[in-house]
Amino acid sequence: MIQLIQFYFKTIGNVFPKAIANQAFKLFAKVRKKEIRKRELPFFEQAKKYNLPFNSGSLDCYAFGKPTKDIVVLVHGWDSNVGCMYQLATALAKEGKYCIGFNLPAHAFYKEKQSNIFICKEAFKTVLNNLPEYTHLSILSHSFGSVVTAYGLSELDVKIDKLVFQTSPNYLKDVFLEFKGLVALPNAVYAHLKNKAEAIINEDLDKLATETKLKGANFKHLYLFHDKYDKVIPFSKSEEIHNAISNSTLLPYEKVGHYRMLFNENIIAKTVEILMPI
């Protein structure tokens, strides 16, 4: 299948670069909806669901644990759902944390099939602007959810106790360049694709980075978890963020994977340890 896509984009793209760029953008923004895994299902069974108005529809939000004023917001990654943080939420709830999560637009149970960083950032802001009263607020994110968190916080006047990023991309352009290589986009097509993305986010794609957005956010400390041999997001991305953010701690691991780390006992224990002291 990927060979056919590459052939199509290479041959037709050189003739109709703008039209093919629009098709490529739709492919790039398409969420691959996967069946909810068995180990994710308990989250939805145990959490209290509520909805928040968002754009022309609503956001699926979930409250997990006993309500307290010590809140941890959960932000999942691309092609995933908030249920992936079930074991983390369970461990945190046992220690008195009140977890608030939501499914990113077009993920999990939504009818929509396409999303992007701008829409997800706006959804994140909506959730934070509608939190119950709190004394302490921390955020636990995974992968793409870390970019969403950094981007959203840079536009909010809110004080965060701790940020815990369990892997994170850095420069968003790297994601687009990886896609360019994967589907063999000609340079002319990629130029149109980049312009389309910049029109949506209203920013220079080359400058939009997690490390840059974090400098505009208000938080006490950032903790970066990352497998040294992560096959999805290179470890070097968290290193870049750590080197750019003085109030951060890099926590390298091995053989915990990219997605599997969310269910790793050592990762869960360390996350609880970090989030417990205020």
> Domain-by-domain residue ranges, the chain?
1-30+175-203, 41-170+209-275
**Cβ distance 62 to 47 under 8 Å?**
yes
pLDDT at 278 (0 to 100): 61
pLDDT at 184 (0 to 100): 87
Region 41-170+209-275: CATH code: 3.40.50.1820
Q: How far apart are alpha carbons 203 and 191 in whole angstroms? A: 15
pLDDT at 133 (0 to 100): 94
Q: How far apart are alpha carbons 163 and 169 in whole angstroms? A: 15
**In sequence order, what are the residues at sequence separation of 6 or more whose Cβ sits closer than 8 angstroms to the Cβ of residue 171?**
206, 208, 209, 210
pLDDT at 1 (0 to 100): 67
pTM for this predicted structure = 0.94
Q: What is the DSSP letter of 97?
A: -
Q: How far apart are alpha carbons 106 and 92 in whole angstroms? A: 27
**Cβ distance 116 to 147 under 8 Å?**
no
pLDDT along the chain (278 residues), means of 10: 77 83 88 91 98 96 97 96 98 97 96 93 98 96 96 97 97 87 87 90 89 96 98 95 98 97 97 89
pLDDT at 242 (0 to 100): 98
H helix intervals, the chain: 2-13, 17-29, 41-46, 86-94, 117-128, 144-153, 172-182, 187-201, 210-214, 235-244, 265-275
Instruction: Count Cβ atoms below 10 Å from residue 117 Cβ, excluding itself.
Output: 21
H helix intervals, 14-81: 17-29, 41-46
